[in-house]
Structure 1
Amino acid sequence: METNSRNWRWERMAQLLAASALLLLQNSVAISADTSSVHIVYMGDKIHQNPQLTKKYHNKMLSSLLGSKEAAKSSILYSYKHGFSGFAARLTKHQAEAIAKFPGVVSVIPNGIHKLHTTRSWDFIGIHHSTSKSALSNSNLGEGAIIGVIDTGIWPESASFNDEGMGQIPSRWKGVCQVGEHFNSTNCNKKIIGARWFLKGITDQTKKLLHGNNTNEYLSARDAIGHGTHTASTAAGNFVGNANYRGLASGLARGGAPLAHLAIYKACWNFPIGDCTDADILKAFDKAIYDGVDVLTVSLGFSIPLFSYVDQRDVIAIGSFHATAKGITVVCSAGNSGPLSQTITNTAPWIITVGATTIDRAFPAAITLGNNLTVWGQSIDTGKHNLESVGLTYSERIALDSSENLAKACQSGSLNATMAAGKIVLCFSVSDQQDIVSASLAVKEAGGVGLVYAQYHEDGLNQCGLFPCIKVDYETGTQILTYIRRSRFPTASLSFPTTVIGKWASPRVASFSSRGPSSMSPTVLKVLQVWTFWLHFLRKELQRTVDLHSCLELQCLVLTWQE
């Protein structure tokens, strides 16, 4: 009886599609003159349990709109047929408006673009691998769980992804290890049990392929940016002893669920940097649901203001809704737009939305002035910091053009090379257009040997390579400037940074972490989980060093599943 009912529904829907197409042709809708672009035709839950029937229905719908099976085949990019129903296709504006009137279509969404939003952290929040009385010891370390990561791919050679001590791949797993550029089946193991990549949406959006267009991207699941590697290792990186960053932050690196399996879905690309399109993201959700993941982490999102849920343009909300309906926990980052209020993203009620905090670790570096006053900043650069009694100057004193304000922040080309040569230069941040890395390059180009960079409070540290640079707050910067103005021959010595734990009040919300309330519904409260963000992944080189990243993409991963 159920089969007869389904057959009747199929026949009825086919009749309605034919009638709709005929009506549109009779009304002489101009559907070929406009330029086409990718649209997502979202149709809600699947009508058919058989994915092939769902795909056939999509093709028939598109054929009835475009006039032939060949035109439909040329137009369609993806058929979403596992977790929900819909498809992505190249359509003109008139075609998109026309198909929106077809029966069963919930909405037609233009293909938008999204942006991509450590060793001590687990100890800081009380999860100690070596202690018997801990949340980690009472769990199974994520054994048997499958964590899906929708991001920029993975660097499989990282020590965090070795499969030592891993259990067998769950029999329910349906995924594959998709081969591609510098990525083959041997890159998967019992840790990385699957990898897929999706780029039809991004290549159509940019009108050119990534490969060979001044990018370092790989046409495979291999990570060219580092973001996906970072997030995957934070979620489920295996144990790596003596991990450190050039001697700093030494310890045991591990993910939240170190014995969980990883499924990688590369939907974000280095074009220009970290772009992910709706069409590719939805396909990643669709495949992850089919493959059998238990948890999905998604560290990307829209910019504000947010779309309304009834607007149907928030594809992360759509994909996560269908994943949650299938029993998959979806965890998303809140965004990197703090400290302003109403900047939070990914606020759908079925998503676990997570903010970022600091931890009680810092990397202080001493600045000893010529008058024997020692002030402190922070640095993660372990180059030639042992500069002793070196000349110290203020950037405005050595400006090429004193009538401009460029030298204050040490912008490129603003410093007098003769006056900067061999000296440590003090610079002040005056806008978001300049940062400590750019300033260090300007000082180095001018012949300077070190940088002290004063800026407003901002959590996280940037590396200047092997060039000594120390970040200080405005108060400390002003103290140093006062000394320079009062001294006839100001000098300073810079020390190496060290790792200090437990001397700072933590946790507190990180400066960059997006804040509520929601810009869409400010009067409705949602619990926002806030966790630590100082988590690290091994560098691409097979060295026992880690990159210190302080970005909000990690906060969603601290909440990954443990039984």
Structure 2
Amino acid sequence: MAATAILLLANPASYGNILCGFSTECIEKGIWSESASFSDDGLGPVPSKWKGTCQAGQEFKSNLCNRKIIGARWYDGHLKPKDLEGEYRSARDTNGHGTHVASTAAGALVPNVSFHGLATGSIRYSMSQNITTTGMGFITPDALMTLPSRLINATLASGKIVFCYNPAPMTTISPIFYTSKVVKYAKEAGAKGIILATYAFDMLDAFEICGSMPCVLVDFDVATGLYYALVQNTELVVKVTPDLTWLGNGVLAPKISTFSSRGPSPLFQKFLKPDVAAPRSNILAAVKDPYTFKSGTSMACPHVSGVAALLKALHPDWSPAIIKSAIVTTASNDRFGLPILADGLPQKPVDPFDYGGGFIDLNRAVDPGLAYDVDPKDYIPFHDCFLAGNSSCESESRNLNIPSIAILNLKEPTTVLRTVTNVGQADAIYKAVVQSPPGMQILVEPSILKFSAGMNKQSFKVTFTTTHKVQGNYLFGSLAWHDGGAHYVKIPIAVRPVLSNNYYSDV
């Protein structure tokens, strides 16, 4: 049902009361307020300035709100009758999406949570460096694959086993789309279990689709052996050991999923997208019964929303642009300091079109040092240029003060303007640290920025010059401001050198 749920985050001593709002619309379909993730234990009274309401409706009473869920409304006037089939006329969740999203962003600490014995532990809002993965495998119609290797759901089976194997090329289609079809057709054919082969080892949410059908998940090395064994022996017996959990330094994390939304943006190529990466795969969070894994953009978004809410609570005077800048400029690599990997064939180190500034890091975003702020009126010239499609507006987009730089067609030396605001200690000195794309020169003027109590803003210009003599694809680099201490304020750079302005990219 189209609904809006507004939640009050738990108030740790270092943060205070944090209000986080969700407009769930018809996609997220409300909230399951009985979940332990929405317990109001330990919370104070609802803020006195709160003017909202808890709207009653079908299977949702007004007393289902509490000091955690302080308000809920629903509406359906814009929906067609067919869109309302199977939906509650209330803020009550039907498919678990809204509940999962809300509990990810603003859920309470819940101990001893698992899904069929997997990922046992405490559910809490946390952006730690020990998140096991932000990647996810996928399935194509010809290459049915799924989930981490050597995992099995809780049901044992004997009888026909469906073996899905074919190492075909990858696509960006969500694996769950095809996994559900495999399970459906296997059941109809009388199968008692499914063995699925995978390129990636991180798709635990398919267990929900398997339901009572036992699913064994293996990598393609194991699958290849199974395939040839099945060809030679139709009476093959396979022994499956119980599922295992790996903790510690042996887990390579995080990584970018194969079907993550990657750049460059087809509509806004003058801006570097995406901005940042966040956990989106195998996120264990609340639903009706009671916790499950889900993957997708809808899982990444509440992580960023939760971080933004925490930053706003700590820094009430920060603008949305400063909050975004803090998140982007403090994003990190993997927990060993190495480049994050992007899933694919073959795997590769990420570039800014895979993860923007990097993997979101709350602890560093709290104190970014410098920030790229944007006055809302600065968006107006860009908006007008975009609608008019006027090529003379090139500088309007290039000089928008966002924490990244993208130059679509670099032929002649090009200069980009930026301004940073000191949000750290009043007296500070920052030096520019440039990682130039191969075959390019980047000149930053001035290369040293000095801040004081009476001067918290400094502007600088970045000039790009290419030495390439061929039409090129995008090349990547970065610009950071370092104070010699804890602050390393880095933005990503993407530049495409060309010989002719009439160049059309094949990316």
Normalised by the length of structure 2, the TM-score is 0.48
Higher helix share: 1
Larger Rg: 1
> 1 or 2 for the larger relative contact order (CA 8 Å, sep ≥6)?
1
